[in-house]
Structure 1
Amino acid sequence: MIATGEDHRVTPAELFFDLVFVYAITQVTALMADDPSALRMLGGMVVLALLWWCWCCFAWLGNVVRADTGGLFSVLLAVMAVLMIVSLAVPEVYADGEGGLHVPLVFVLCYGAVRLLHLLSYWVSSPDDAALRSTLRRTALLSVAPPFVLLLAGSTLSGAAQVLVWLAAVAVDYVGIYVTGSSGWRVSSPGHFAERHGLIVMIALGESIIAMGFGMRGFPLSGPVLIASVAGLLLLAGLWRVYFRMVNEAAEHRLTALRDGARTALGRDVYTFLHLPLVAGIVLTSLGEKAALHHIADEHHYGLSEPLHGIVAWALPGGAGVFLLAAAAILLRVGRRPSPLLLVGGPALLAAGALVPLVPALAALLLLAAGVTVLVFAGGGPRERHGVVAA
């Protein structure tokens, strides 16, 4: 395996690897849309957190070892095959159908295989790094083995019990990263790390566009559907602008300025942890947009004056609210002052979910798209509106 340098960039092998996550994120949206309840939404976020961990593992590894070399590329192919199985399992992970394999167990075993391949790859790539190997041993004992046992136990359960046990597994895994420490982990190329995570945000936004298409699939193209589609795209464009004009450059700049442990800690906090709610916010928004497009397109069951109801009504503005709050948290962590509009807009959109059932679905989507557009353009960018809090 070939070590990377400060100027390392994302390789085509990593872009190929990310293709599996396009499908995986689509499957998470489908999982929640199939049974739009609060419990299923929580379950969908748990599955997303597990998938995110799989992706992050190899984003870190690809930052210190070239992913297009023979050894690591072979590992990536193996992981892609396993993650493809994981993605296929997602829709039935909480409602295993009759016949065939036990889907929750298949999901857990494949997840465990990905985590094991990651640790083994790091171990082989750094034979002389005693600090890293010590951290890998602690990670296996504290942040991989206990959550895997919980996931196995949860795979034998169903309903709320399964979701809560798996949620506990995610919590143990994420807390374990802080307990094991950052000794030995490193970010060799800030540019690669920032680009890698920017691409996964783009993948999530692309999945949202796909979800809108699925929402109106099978129904005739109508004027309201066209208007709703444009409004949905405008909403996603607003989220894109927040990330790539306010967040991405500021985070990369701060990461580049740091060295050693401080750089690793920032990479962990900003990219591994705070990018998860960014992606989760996009997935929740895509769930709301998919439901809205279906509602507007299905003229036989819904009228244009009929609003969205249930958890998907909250997801439409709530997902964007989660995204804005995560963006604000990232800016704070890198020493920037977030725009007050982000700090106000995030909670406002979370609260707006209560109003969505009071207005027609098309009107709700149009108002949300217009509101986010005004907020984003009024908020400006980091160079224009954000003072530096810390050096």
Structure 2
Amino acid sequence: MAGRERSRMVAAEGDHKVTPAELFFDLVFVYAITQVTALMAAAPSPGRVLAAMTVLALLWWCWCCFAWLGNVVRADAGALFAVLVTVMTVVFVVSLVVPEVFADAPGGLPAPLVFVLCYGAVRLLHLISYWISSPGDTALHATLRRTALLSVGPPLALLLVGCAYDGTPRLLMWLGAVAIDYGGIYLTGASGWRVNSPGHFAERHGLIVIIALGESIVAMGVGVAHFPLTGAVIGACAAGILLAAGLWALYFRRFGEPAEHRLGALDGDERTRFARDVYTFLHLPLVAGVVLCALGMKKVLTQVADTGHYDLADSLHGTVAWALTGGVGVFLLGAAAITRRSTGRRPVALLVGGVCGLAAGPLVELVPALAALALLAAAVLALVVALGRRTASGAAGAAGPEESPAA
């Protein structure tokens, strides 16, 4: 009986919380996100950024698959833990080849093919595990069949075909695969999928945002590796930490909590659709924005530390100049979309901030790199304070004169 208990899937309850097994599972994605930044940093260009975002979108799908599964099946009990360890191994192999998926190095296995085969293995493991988890759920099984036909089979075939080409043709085919994959999930609908524990689901996605922010800090450390510590380096590190703290505060103090409350207030297919839109789709821009910003932060720290090749008056240029503020812009636009979907309000400050971040690349080239990072951190922190005051005044107005503390 003990053997049967270990081999079956164990259902998660409605008050399910994130388990240590899921935190362990996330560790491999720390490295995966770091490798996406490395893919861009090796040869920064608009095409390389687009290629990196394509890879990130595929990796994001691998993570999301098991975030959904872990909400209905316990990751720390039964057979799912063995599946997670297997997926960790496969994703780690994927991460190893990420820097070479669009510029395969000579020798060894073909990196693009290894990436695609491992990605396909993760998607198939997810579908099989989901099928086994609910043997009598006909609605879920019908949805899984539609998912395999629309969102797994065609994209995987296109990814495999893309491996036979180099450069732009491969990138276009892989972009097409991502579009089909995401569109297929949307077309399969909400029927069959379930979100048993809103708290667990929101916490899982909050943790992946923290992982992305952690990668931005790691990127700064990599940027100053093998260079002497100076006062300017310390100042740049402080500015980078403040920028990461500002993005953290925006998520966890401003728009993450309303999204979780809205998720908990819904049920059935409405809850599933909201989870798909806000967490599966709209959290990707948050992670992508942090990864883009990490590229800019890494280059700032490198220029500040490498006094033999750069002066403190030197600025960022080209793609990395845009990435520094553009990443924050992508993050803010994702936050605006989440706020709109969660509350129905139009988040003007987030929208304006996002557009300004996307357009500020040319301005970054006009000021020293360290000053650009410090000004960006100050702007994000100012936005956090402004949104906090607006929230507080809105809450006081909603309370009315009889309920307000002043009364």
Specify if TM > 0.5. Answer: yes
Q: Deviation at 1:341?
A: 2.0
User: Which residue identity is paired with 1:376?
Assistant: V
Residue 68 (structure 1) aligned to one of 52, 76, 80? 76
Aligned to 2:109: 101
User: Which residue identity is paired with 2:107?
Assistant: G
Describe the SS at the equivalent of 2:175: helix
Describe the SS at the equivalent of 1:95: coil
Q: Deviation at 1:383?
A: 4.5
Task: Map 1:196-275 to 2 at 5 A.
Answer: 196-275=204-283
* Partner Cα separation in structure 1 for residue 322 and residue 393 of structure 2: 30
Q: Deviation at 1:336?
A: 4.6
Describe the SS at the equivalent of 2:63: helix
User: Is 1:367 the counterpart of 2:375 in the alignment?
Assistant: yes
User: Is 1:302 the counterpart of 2:310 in the alignment?
Assistant: yes
Describe the SS at the equivalent of 1:292: helix
Q: Which has the larger radius of gyration?
A: 2
Aligned to 2:403: none
Q: Deviation at 1:265?
A: 0.1
Q: Deviation at 1:15?
A: 0.4
User: Which residue identity is paired with 2:182?
Assistant: Y
Q: Deviation at 1:181?
A: 1.4
Question: Is the Cα–Cα contact under 8 Å of residues 278 and 322 in structure 1 kept in the other structure?
Answer: yes
Q: Note the residue ranges of structure 1 that are not aligned, 5 or more in a row.
A: none
Q: Deviation at 1:385?
A: 5.8
Structure 1 residues 324-362: Cα deviation after superposition (integer angstroms, max 9, x where no partner): 111111011012535432121111111111211111111
Question: Is the Cα–Cα contact under 8 Å of residues 315 and 367 in structure 2 kept in the other structure?
Answer: yes
Question: Is the Cα–Cα contact under 8 Å of residues 321 and 345 in structure 1 kept in the other structure?
Answer: yes
Question: Is the Cα–Cα contact under 8 Å of residues 339 and 347 in structure 2 kept in the other structure?
Answer: no
Aligned to 1:54: 62
Aligned to 1:25: 33
Q: Deviation at 1:370?
A: 1.1
User: Is 1:347 the counterpart of 2:318 in the alignment?
Assistant: no
Identity, % of aligned pairs? Answer: 67
Aligned to 1:173: 181
Q: Note the residue ranges of structure 2 that are not aligned, 5 or more in a row.
A: 1-8, 398-407
Query: More displaced, 335-344 or 189-198?
Result: 335-344
Aligned to 1:378: 386
The two structures have a TM-score, normalised by structure 2, of 0.93
Moved over 3 A (4+): 385-388
* Partner Cα separation in structure 1 for residue 249 and residue 96 of structure 2: 32
Question: Is the Cα–Cα contact under 8 Å of residues 250 and 382 in structure 1 kept in the other structure?
Answer: no
Residue 47 (structure 2) aligned to one of 39, 48, 69? 39
User: Which residue identity is paired with 1:183?
Assistant: S
User: Which residue identity is paired with 1:31?
Assistant: L
Number of equivalent positions: 388
* Partner Cα separation in structure 1 for residue 316 and residue 73 of structure 2: 48
Q: Deviation at 1:380?
A: 1.1
The two structures have a TM-score, normalised by structure 1, of 0.97
Structure 1 residues 121-164: Cα deviation after superposition (integer angstroms, max 9, x where no partner): 00000110001101101100110000001110111111111111
